[in-house]
Structures are given as structure tokens and as C-alpha cells.
Structure 1
Amino acid sequence: MRDMTSLSMLLGPAGLLRRHALALTLAGLAGVAASAATVALLARINAALHRPAGPLTEMVLAFTGLGLAMLAGRATASALSNRTGQAIIQELRLMLAQRILAAPLDALERYRTHRLVPVLTQDVGMVSGLCLSLPMTVVAASVVVGCVLWLAWLSWQLAVLVLSALALSLALQRWAQERAIVRFEAARSDEDALHKAWRTLGDGAKELRLSRSRRRQLLDGRIARHAADIARAQVQAGDLYALSFEASAALYFLLVALVFAAARLWQLPSEVAGGFVLALLYMKGSLDQVLGFLPFYARARVALGRVDELGSSFSNPESSSAEGTPPPLMHGIALQGVRYAYEAADGVAPFTLGPLDLQLRRGEILFIAGDNGAGKTTLLKLLTGLYRPQQGELLLDGRQVDDAGRDAYRQLFSPVLSDFHLFEELPDTDAPPAERDAAAQAALERLGLAHKLSVRAGRLSSTDLSTGQRKRLAMVHAWAEARPVMVFDEWAADQDPAFRTRFYREFLPALREHGHTLVVISHDERYFDVADRVLVMDGGRLQETAVN
């Protein structure tokens, strides 16, 4: 059942392999033709060894023709399978990226980055290898099948002996695979935990250097333990496959001796015994390729399950369209009876925001204050359309923002959130590129960053800045977009006193004069007089406070 679920992304009704069925079929047919030419060539060689040689010209032409047919078939199968495999990989990566971009933000946040990145790198790479190696493995399997059919034509008794040995070999590999897959799955789970530890190495670099105990906890308690668990599981799985593979190899050469003994016992012609030995020795390489594919498939099956899990987690995309013109903001934005509750974790009651009502008027400066954890950032995500209200309505100029128009509604906002990501490229705007670069360079001058970096062709020369400078650079992005509503989540918290004062006394009033509506999360009570209104968030509820 797990196999079918994992393979649904490839083999399902809309699976990637099915969309390339024609190319894969042609590759398979080319492989079968190559296999037929191979078997015919083996039959010719066997006949030449045990019968009087015919005309030399005829023999050379036959050998040359069959050799070229074998070469052409295998080359065609290889070229088609390689192109198809690369196309499947490209589609898989694009499909996952589209699903992630279309997924609701809260679903993406629940999945966690330390689980997401290994899937997009390690697991997709493993599935890519599966797509590339599968067609040629099928060709190798067709060579084995073709040889067995020829052997059955030579002697069904010996063919039964060969099939029995092959069945035993496959049973050994299946036995190893069922036990190895459990270890591969355990190793893959440890990979997620190890990737989380890798992130800690970078994110907590300063704290780790200031604390020996934390370094020991991370290195010995997490990295060393998970690395050892992964190595142990991989070694155990590898040992199982090595044991079964070597046992199969020993069985195979024993089979050659049994063929000689059985042929003599049953008084079969030397041509039959010679044909069997010739075919067995030739198809050993193809059989090894098939058996060698099994441990890779076991790893790829685990990876495919993770990729399919990721695809399933984001299989319910938002219904909003990425097309369409952003609606104008004429009067204001409102939240009416909006409620949002997070999922419960470890028996702890979930945080609930609302129900609450909020009016944001066009052209005003609105401050939102409150303690940490009161729900301010969640409120911003609801206001900007990043979260869909579980109850209540989001209104633009008195009209409800439905799911179909949510993405267009989001284009009204230029945010600098507390957990912002800093892009190296400036956002595309309607302004000419030269004008956009000049405006961005002027903003860098105004924010005291021009001595650190520059703008060329819409790209920033660097983002390697301090925390406060990175926030200023994020404001450059927001200014470049120049959208109707600008959102600042604790922007001034990491600024020096001079820039903090300029933000409140200079930047915010100037932005309003240019027609922007401003929503600012702030704890700086001495600057509350800049705001038209100040709302306080407390325990998921809003209340208005007086502005001095």
C-alpha cells in the first residue's frame, strides 16, 4: 500500500511517467529491439562455435548488422530515456515549487523549513536518479528476458533450472530490500533532525561560541548522535544488500556448473550447453544492473514517499488567481468578526485571535501596540490576506475579499515584517529600469546605506549587513514597490536613536504625504503622537487607546 501511495506521483492518473508515456514506450521498444539483436547475435556466435562456418562475407555482414542494430537500439533507448528523465525532473521541481507558492501560508509554516529543504534537495535528487536509471534498467531487464526466452527455445529443462536460480536470487534481494527499507526510512527521519542541527550551526553561531555547554549539546547530543544513527542504518542496509548480492553472484556461477552437469546428464547437444553458458555469461552484466538497481530503488522509494508527502501537504492550493489587476483602495479596509485559532500542540490550548473588528482608513497612520505574543503579527497576516479568517470577513471598501480575489488584494501591501526575507533583486515596477535604480539609490542615500552597497540593473550589490541595516534595506524594497498600504512590524526596534527618530518623525509623515496608508507595530510610546490612532492588542483582542 505504501508503495502505491509513493508511486502515485509518477504512475497515478496524472503521474509524471504517464505524461511521457509515448517517449518512454519508444525507449522501451528501442531497448527491446536492442535486446532482440543481442540475442540474435549470441545465437549466431553460438552457431559459429559449434557448426561449420558459412561464407565469410555472409557471417561478417550478419555480425556487423546485428551489432549495429544492437548499438542503435541501446543508443536510442539511452537518448530517449535521458531526455525523458530530465523532462520529468524539471516538471517535478516546477510542480513542487508551484504547489509551495500556491499553498496557504499557515500550511507552509506548519511544515517547517528544516523538513522542506531536504525534500527539495536530497529527496528530489534521489527521485531524479530513479527517473534517469529506471528506463535503462528496463532495457537491461529486457536483455535478461530475451536471453531466457532464447534459452527456453534451446532447452526448456535447462531454462527451468535457470529460472529457478533467478527466482531464488530475486527472493534474496526482496528479503534484503524489505529489511533495508526500514533502516532507510529511519535514516531519512534522522536526516531531517540533522538538517535542523545544521541550521543551528549557522543561526546560533555567536551563541555557540560563547557557550561551551551549548556546543557540547549540539555536537554530541544532536549532530554526533544523528550522524551515528544515519551511518548505522545505512551500513546495516548496505550489508544486507551486499550479502544478498554476493550470495546471488555465487549462486549464478554455481548455476553455470549445474548447466554443464545437467547437459551431460540429459545428454544434450554441445551447442545447447554452449549456448546456455554463452548467454549466462553475457547476461550477467544486465542481471547485475537489475539487481544493483534494487537498493537504489529502496532509497528512492523512501525519498519518493517524502516528495509525495510534501506534494500532498500542499495539494489544496489557494483558489486565488495570480492574475488580474490589484483593486484600488478608495476608502479603507475592515476586519469584521474575524477569528483565527492556531492548532493545539502537545496538549497546550491553542492561541486564539478575536473575534475582533478593525477599521483601517485610507491615508491614516495606524499604530498597533501590545505585549509579545498578544497576536499583533497574526493580525497583520490577517489584514494583509496572508491568513484566511476562520470566521468573519475581510472587507475592501465595504466589499468582501473572497478567495478568488485574495491574491489581487495582497498586491495592495508593501510589508517589512519582523521575520522578513531580504531579496537581492528589487521588485519589478511600472517605472523604467533606470528610473527605478535611481530611486533606489536615492533611498540608500537617505537611509545611510549608500557607502555599503549600490544598485545596478535592479540588483543590490550586497545584503551582508547588520540587523538594523538589513531592515533599512527592506524599507528600500518597500519604497520601490510604492504600494498603497505599507506595513512595518517593529521596524525601529533595531535602529539607533537617530534613525528611530527619523523613522517616526520624518519617514512616516513623508510616506503619508505621498498617499500611503501606514500600519505600524510599535512599542515606542513617546512617538505615539505621530499616529492618527493607536490600538492595543491584548490576548488576541483589540482596544483603542488615546493618542497624546
Structure 2
Amino acid sequence: MRDIPSLALLLGPAGLLRRHALALTVAGLAGVGASAATVALLARINVALHRPAGPLGEMALAFVGLGLAMLAGRATASALSNRTGQTIIRELRLMLAQRILAAPLDALERYRTHRLLPVLTGDVGMVSGLCLSLPMTVVAASVVLGCVLWLAWLSWQLALLVLGALALSLALQRWAQDRAMLRFEAARDDEDALHKAWRTLGDGAKELRLSRGRRRQLLDGRIARHADDIARAQVEAGDLFALSFEASAALYFLLVALVFAAARWWQLSSEVAGGFVLALLYMKGSLDQVLGFLPFYARARVALGRVNELGACFANPEPGQVSDEPPQLLHSITLQGVRYAFEASEGAASFALGPLDLQLRRGELLFIVGDNGAGKTTLLKLLTGLYRPQQGRLLLDGRPVEDAGRDAYRQLFSPVLSDFHLFEELPETERPAAERDAAAQAALERLELAHKLTVQDGRLAGTDLSTGQRKRLAMVHACAEARPVMVFDEWAADQDPAFRKRFYREFLPALRAQGHTLVVISHDDRYFEVADRVLVMEGGQLREAPAAPTDVSRP
């Protein structure tokens, strides 16, 4: 079984629970006060059952006072616990989001999306439930402890008998928990694999409908297998906890019978025996709450381990993500002796790009061409600062781009990558919102999307779009940002011939005329004469392409 981290994320020196120690302490004290009032109320009831009744008004006042104290304590503990728990959940979610946003891109890519989303949804939800249920479980445990202390005051012999039975119940639960943890951990591994299969349902929808064999492979070979494994592991774990819980319940009622027998053996008064039975019956609910928390805690430990693992993977943020102002591109961007290598993983072979040299001059329109897998996208990630060179240097106007200034350097670029993501909102810019929206509206009209989309307070509202139209919309976002360098990775691949021609003959020259530096990955050799330079990427190396003859008559 994987080594599961402790509760350091919650209880460590900078743990989430320790940040709210004051509120949780007040909640705990309120719960303890409610438990004390509960025990006092039970004692009053026991006295009333076995002794002549005192003045009715005095008894009623005592019952009302203790009842109100119990209600106030439990309500205070519950309210504070709920508020603190929700605050902790919020902080946990924000912490994870901040770490993911601040992590280097290659670290995020290595973690894989099918592993990331289950942590941010299921595991965070499980840890959230732990934060919400833990304080009230502590209150329930304080009720049990208060009752045991009262029982010890009544008869230490019977109290030892009760403590022995409770210790045996806890031992049964621990036995079940240790074995169930193995099942929960195995089920959690299958959850990652199942989530990967869920993504295939959507991403490969067209291919799956065209191949019965693939459908059988996905449904029977992956989804059904992992679903069966998860169900089997959860059932086995649940059976273990159910067996231990029911055994504890049977032992508890046997304990009540033993109390009566022991009371007669030791010739204890009926008040003592009645007090024990009354306390045992009352604290049964609180004890069940404590024992019922243990299965949930076992699952939450597995989830907490995954959350800790995610946090550890992204514990080293990139510096300078919020402080430095974006620089200016005055002359050139240079890659000098840059190299970046990928290790073989999950069936993918190792690959190395470089060492290579490249200078992108301000105002230049540069085409990069090459076969799939040649390293073009990796080159773009190095050029835009998304990847840190493993060897060599990235220079802006002759000055090295250091780690602290890498994020500021990235703000020079407006990209439309091949695996682009469409955001609902237009990006924030230094320009006024009205000016940004106007630029987006003008781009919609140039890209023939104005009949489908409108700009409303920084949001693009409209109907569903085709793949080619979605790429045009991504270009609208880039135009709204209007950064110095614009990057287009196979942008024209999904456009019809007429629009592809407009992209190369009209849009790119217009953007260059506006002062943008342009980097275009393309396979459209008929339009290479539009570029100032064409570079060829082969096997991770760059070379200058031979000059193409100019033929404006070509479509």
C-alpha cells in the first residue's frame, strides 16, 4: 500500500486546522460544556428516579436550566464548527488552485489531467467532509468521556468494565480500518483509471461510433473492469466495517446485561445500577457517531493522501507571477544553444530538441514548418517561456530571461495553440474594458463571426461553433489582448480554402502592419512567400528553408 501522509496538511505547523485554532477551541469548549450539562441532566434524572422528589419548582428549574445549557453549547459548537469547516474547505480549494496556477507547465503536464480532476473534485470533497464532521465527532466523543467520568464516580468497578468493552469495540474498528484501508487505496487507484476512460467517452465519441471493437474494448475492457474493481473493493471494506460495527453493538447490549449482573454480585444500589444503564443507553448514540466516523475517516485518509501528493508535486511555484510588470520587445527574442528533452513515459519514446539557435526580430513574420513530432510545439513553448530551457539561454533584447522574470516575459505573447482552450470571458488587459470589447467586436466582424456571437460586458455570447469557427474565436481573444507577439499553431488547418487564403493574404499582413511580431506554424507551402523567413524543424533541429518563388496567382 502507498505510504499515506498524516494529517499534517490539517494539523501541521501551518495546517489548515491550526490556523483556526481559536474558533475550534471555542467550539470544543462549547461542546464540552454541553456534554457536562448533559451528564448533569442525566444525574438529575437518575436521582429523580430513585429518590423522593424535591420541590417541583426547584426540579423543573434545574431541568430547564441544564436543558438550555446543553442546547446552547451544542448549537454554539455546531455553528462554529460549520463556519470554520467551510472556511477551511475554501482555503484548501484556493491553495490547490494557486499551486496549480503557479506550477511550471511541464510539472502540470507530467501529472496528467485524468489524475488531477479526481483530486480536485472527489478527494477535496472527501477532505471537506472530514473537516465538517471532525469537530462534531469530537463533541460526541466528549459526551462519551463525560458519561464515563460520571460512571467512574458512581462505581469505579463498573466503570472499568465499561472501559474494557469500549476498548474492545475500538480494537474491532481499528482491525477493520487497517484492512479496509487497503481496499480504499486500491479503489482510489481504479478511480483514476476510470476517470481516464470517462474522458475517452467524450474525446473519442466519433471513433467509438465507427468501431464496435473499440466500444467493446472501452466498455468491457476498461470501464466495466475498473467499475467492478471499485465496487468489489468498496463492498469488501464496507463489509469489514459493518461486521465490526454490529459486533460492537452486540457487545454493547451484552455490557448492559453484565452491568446488572455485576451490580448484584457487588451488591451495588439500584441508583448506581440505574445510573449506569441510563448513561449507557444515552451515550449509545454518541458512541455510534464516533464509531461511524471511523469508516469515513479511513476513506478521507486516502483522499487526504492524494491531496497532499498533489500539493507536494506543485510545491515549488514559479517566481515573479504577480509582481513584475511585462517588459517591452524592442529588438529581438533569441534562443541561444537551447535544449529540451523528454524522457520516455506511458508508451511515448524519448525526444530531445536542440541544441538550437533562433532569433525572432521585432515586426517579423516567421513561419515554422516540419513533420508531426519534429518538435515545433515544444519550440513554441520554449520561445514563449512556457518551458524553461534545460540547457542554453532565452534572451530578450540581448538580456537573459531569468526565472524571476519568466512570467513577466510570457506576457508578451498572445497565442492560439493547436490544443487551445476557449475561455468564456475576454482576457483582462491594460486597456479600458470598452476599448477591449470594441477590438473584439471588430475581430468578430473580420473573422465572419459577428452573426453568431456578440460581446457583452467582456463575455462572448452566441450559438455553437464548428471547429474552424472555434479557432477563429480563439483568434478574437488574441486580438483583444493585442500583445506584441502573436503565435498561431496550425491555425489554418481547420479553415475552408477561402478563409485560409484570407488568413495568409489579409489577416497576417494586417497584424504585422499593426506592429505585431508573428510566429506561425504551418504546412501551407503555397503561402510561404508571405513570410519574412521560413524555418524547417527536423528531428528537433532548425534549418533555414530555401527561398520560395513568389506567385500571388496561387489560391
TM-score (structure 1 length as normaliser): 0.98
What corresponds to 2:239 in structure 1? 239
What corresponds to 1:284 in structure 2? 284
Structure 1 stretch 341-350 or stretch 41-50: which is displaced more?
Answer: 341-350
The answer as to whether partners of 1:424 and 1:462 remain within 8 angstroms in 2 is no
**SS of corresponding position for 1:40:** helix
What corresponds to 2:530 in structure 1? 530
Q: Distance in 1 between matches of 2:41 and 2:455?
A: 66
What corresponds to 1:255 in structure 2? 255
Amino acid at match of 1:99: R
Amino acid at match of 1:546: P
Offset of residue 312 of structure 1: 0.6
Q: Distance in 2 between matches of 1:225 and 1:463?
A: 39
Offset of residue 399 of structure 1: 0.6
Per-residue CA deviations over 1:94-138 (Å, capped at 9, x if unaligned) read 000000000000000011111111100011001000000000000
Structure 1 residues 211 and 98, CA gap change in structure 2 (3 angstroms): same
**SS of corresponding position for 1:451:** coil
The answer as to whether partners of 2:437 and 2:480 remain within 8 angstroms in 1 is no
Q: Distance in 2 between matches of 1:157 and 1:33?
A: 26
What corresponds to 2:417 in structure 1? 417
The answer as to whether partners of 2:41 and 2:66 remain within 8 angstroms in 1 is yes
What corresponds to 2:392 in structure 1? 392
What corresponds to 2:464 in structure 1? 464
Q: Distance in 2 between matches of 1:540 and 1:437?
A: 40
What corresponds to 1:339 in structure 2? 339
Q: Distance in 2 between matches of 1:427 and 1:105?
A: 20
Q: Distance in 2 between matches of 1:514 and 1:364?
A: 12
Q: Does 1:209 align with 2:209?
A: yes
Per-residue CA deviations over 1:198-253 (Å, capped at 9, x if unaligned) read 11111111111111111111111111111111111111111111111111101100
Q: Does 1:185 align with 2:179?
A: no
Alignment of 1:109-148 (within 5 A): 109-148=109-148
The answer as to whether partners of 1:332 and 1:396 remain within 8 angstroms in 2 is yes
Offset of residue 6 of structure 1: 3.6
What corresponds to 1:176 in structure 2? 176
Structure 1 residues 505 and 388, CA gap change in structure 2 (3 angstroms): same
Q: Distance in 1 between matches of 2:512 and 2:273?
A: 93
What corresponds to 2:450 in structure 1? 450
The answer as to whether partners of 1:422 and 1:463 remain within 8 angstroms in 2 is no
What corresponds to 1:71 in structure 2? 71
What corresponds to 1:96 in structure 2? 96
Per-residue CA deviations over 1:169-190 (Å, capped at 9, x if unaligned) read 0111111111111111111111
Q: How many residues align?
A: 548
Q: CA RMSD in A?
A: 1.4
Q: Distance in 2 between matches of 1:11 and 1:423?
A: 37
Offset of residue 433 of structure 1: 2.9
The answer as to whether partners of 2:433 and 2:458 remain within 8 angstroms in 1 is yes
Q: Distance in 1 between matches of 2:262 and 2:90?
A: 52
Offset of residue 467 of structure 1: 1.1
**SS of corresponding position for 1:140:** helix
Offset of residue 56 of structure 1: 1.2
Q: Distance in 2 between matches of 1:163 and 1:427?
A: 63
Structure 1 residues 332 and 212, CA gap change in structure 2 (3 angstroms): same
Structure 1 residues 503 and 455, CA gap change in structure 2 (3 angstroms): same
Amino acid at match of 1:452: K
* Runs of at least 5 residues in structure 1 that lack an aligned partner in the other structure: none
Structure 1 stretch 453-462 or stretch 180-189: which is displaced more?
Answer: 453-462
Amino acid at match of 1:487: V
* Runs of at least 5 residues in structure 2 that lack an aligned partner in the other structure: 549-555
Alignment of 1:35-114 (within 5 A): 35-114=35-114
Alignment of 1:265-344 (within 5 A): 265-344=265-344
Q: Distance in 2 between matches of 1:438 and 1:349?
A: 46
Offset of residue 3 of structure 1: 7.8
Q: Distance in 2 between matches of 1:482 and 1:438?
A: 12
Q: Distance in 2 between matches of 1:445 and 1:228?
A: 52
Q: Distance in 2 between matches of 1:462 and 1:45?
A: 69
Offset of residue 435 of structure 1: 3.2
The answer as to whether partners of 1:533 and 1:546 remain within 8 angstroms in 2 is no
Q: Does 1:368 align with 2:368?
A: yes
Structure 1 stretch 147-156 or stretch 445-454: which is displaced more?
Answer: 445-454
The answer as to whether partners of 1:3 and 1:301 remain within 8 angstroms in 2 is no
Offset of residue 452 of structure 1: 1.9
Structure 1 stretch 415-424 or stretch 454-463: which is displaced more?
Answer: 454-463
Structure 1 stretch 133-142 or stretch 193-202: which is displaced more?
Answer: 193-202
Q: Distance in 2 between matches of 1:4 and 1:98?
A: 23
Structure 1 stretch 89-98 or stretch 239-248: which is displaced more?
Answer: 239-248
Q: Does 1:15 align with 2:15?
A: yes
Q: Distance in 1 between matches of 2:518 and 2:439?
A: 20
Amino acid at match of 1:72: A
Per-residue CA deviations over 1:265-322 (Å, capped at 9, x if unaligned) read 1100111100000000000000000000000001111111111111011011112332
Structure 1 residues 2 and 370, CA gap change in structure 2 (3 angstroms): closer
What corresponds to 1:478 in structure 2? 478
TM-score (structure 2 length as normaliser): 0.97
Q: Distance in 1 between matches of 2:46 and 2:228?
A: 53
Q: Distance in 2 between matches of 1:304 and 1:448?
A: 49
Identity of aligned residues (%): 86
What corresponds to 2:553 in structure 1? none
Q: Distance in 2 between matches of 1:182 and 1:462?
A: 50
The answer as to whether partners of 1:337 and 1:354 remain within 8 angstroms in 2 is yes
